[in-house]
């Protein structure tokens, strides 16, 4: 099994493998091109995003600069906003459903390093998927950690660190993010 195949199965893989390195160089070059496009040229940004991501729905608004490790593990739904300075460390899949808003300076970190220092120092990593379901709003400067699923209609307060799954229809904030109240309480 190749290191890329291991990566796509969310197993530990060698981050210094030539195929992995080549994929990272390609993604960084694509991000460099994307980040050189003026923010108001959404058609050009969308065209490049469709090449970079595994899937990309209509109505994407992506405000450069944007950074990712691979791109091919990122799936974006319809009518998604990804604001300035977002970083997607996508060693594992990042799936963003329809109608999600992602505030500026937000990080999605699927990648982890082994606890064993020898494996870590040899360059092994692994990833756990991140999933945002429909209608999620992530406030600016938030961090979404590896293995997290955020439920439908969730609002994540600015500056939050999401370390575990969040159920549907709640507002969360803090470090670590905690449920503050239900969305239904506000309607």
Q: 153: Cβ–Cβ under 8 A, 6 or more apart, which residues?
A: 134, 135, 136, 168, 169, 183
β 143-145/86-89 pair status: unpaired
Per annotation, catalytic residue among 6, 24, 63, 113: 113
Residue whose token pair is 């893989």? 13
In whole angstroms, give the CA distance from residue 31 to residue 39. Answer: 13
Buried b (16+ CB within 10 A) or exposed e, 120-142: eeeebbbbbbbbbbbbbbbbbeb
Question: How far separated are the first and last CA of the chain, in Å rounded?
Answer: 51
- Give the span between the Cα atoms of 40 and 160, in whole angstroms: 29
Q: 26 catalytic, yes or no? A: no
Active site residues: 113
């Amino acid at each position: 099994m190749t290191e890329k195949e291991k990566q796509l199965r969310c197993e530990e893989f060698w981050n210094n493998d030539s195929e992995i390195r080549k994929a990272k160089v390609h993604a960084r070059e694509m991000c460099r091109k994307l980040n050189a496009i003026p923010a108001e040229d959404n058609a050009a940004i969308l065209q490049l995003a469709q090449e970079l991501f595994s899937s990309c729905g209509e109505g994407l608004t992506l405000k450069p600069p944007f950074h990712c490790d691979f791109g091919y593990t990122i799936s974006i739904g319809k009518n998604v906003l990804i604001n300035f300075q977002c970083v997607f460390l996508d060693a594992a899949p990042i799936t963003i459903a329809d109608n999600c808003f992602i505030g500026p300076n937000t990080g999605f970190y699927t990648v982890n390093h082994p606890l064993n220092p020898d494996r870590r120092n040899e360059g092994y990593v692994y990833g756990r998927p991140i999933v945002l379901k429909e209608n999620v709003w992530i406030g600016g400067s938030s961090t979404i950690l590896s293995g997290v699923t955020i439920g439908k209609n969730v609002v994540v307060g600015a500056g939050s660190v999401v370390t575990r799954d969040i159920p549907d229809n709640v507002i969360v904030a803090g470090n670590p993010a905690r449920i503050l109240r239900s969305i239904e309480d506000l309607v």
